[in-house]
């Protein structure tokens, strides 16, 4: 299957700082990527759809000014958590859609564990 990477895998930051998380599709081009967050023992919650060359589409209840998404190329999307607070601590996972796939499969990155102190 297609490979998606995320960087960093873990990050610890102080409250009030901003953190950038990268999501890359390594062996395919992805015009659309998705960002999810997951709390312990909870399921994935879709945050936003990242579209290459255009603005991201945010799900209801997700603050677009707090979670900045930039999809600068066909292989890279970034999520920046601005002015992070302890309640933003979570597991952030991206996924990318591989165009040739008939079943519209999304391939997930390994996730980024964010801890805000």
Partner 1 sequence: GQNIDQPTEMTATEGAIVQINCTYQTSGFNGLFWYQQHAGEAPTFLSYNVLDGLEEKGRFSSFLSRSKGYSYLLLKELQMKDSASYLCAVKRGSTLGRLYFGRGTQLTVWP
Binding residue for partner 1, selected from 34, 69, 71, 114, defined by CB under 8 A: 34
How many chain residues interact with partner 1 (CB under 8 A)?
28
Q: What are the backbone dihedrals phi and psi of residue 15, each rounded to the nearest 5 degrees, phi first?
A: -60, 135
DSSP 52: T
Q: What are phi and psi of 32, to 5 degrees?
A: -130, 130
Residue 93 in contact with partner 1, rule: CB under 8 A: yes
Is there a contact between 88 and 114 (Cβ–Cβ < 8 Å)? yes
Does residue 74 interact with partner 1 by CB under 8 A? Answer: no
Residues in contact with partner 1 by CB under 8 A are 1, 4, 31-32, 34, 36, 41-46, 49, 59, 91, 93, 95, 97, 103-111, 113
């Amino acid at each position: 299957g297609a490979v998606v990477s995320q960087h960093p895998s873990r990050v610890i930051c102080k409250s009030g700082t901003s953190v950038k998380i990268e999501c890359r599709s390594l062996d395919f081009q992805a015009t659309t990527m998705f960002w999810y967050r997951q709390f312990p023992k909870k399921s994935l919650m879709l945050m936003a759809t990242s579209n290459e060359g255009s603005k991201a589409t945010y799900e209801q209840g997700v603050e677009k000014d707090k979670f900045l998404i930039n999809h600068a190329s066909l292989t890279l999307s970034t999520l920046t958590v601005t002015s992070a607070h302890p309640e933003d601590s979570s597991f952030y996972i991206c996924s990318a859609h591989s165009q040739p796939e008939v079943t519209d499969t999304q391939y997930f990155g390994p996730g980024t564990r964010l801890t805000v102190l």
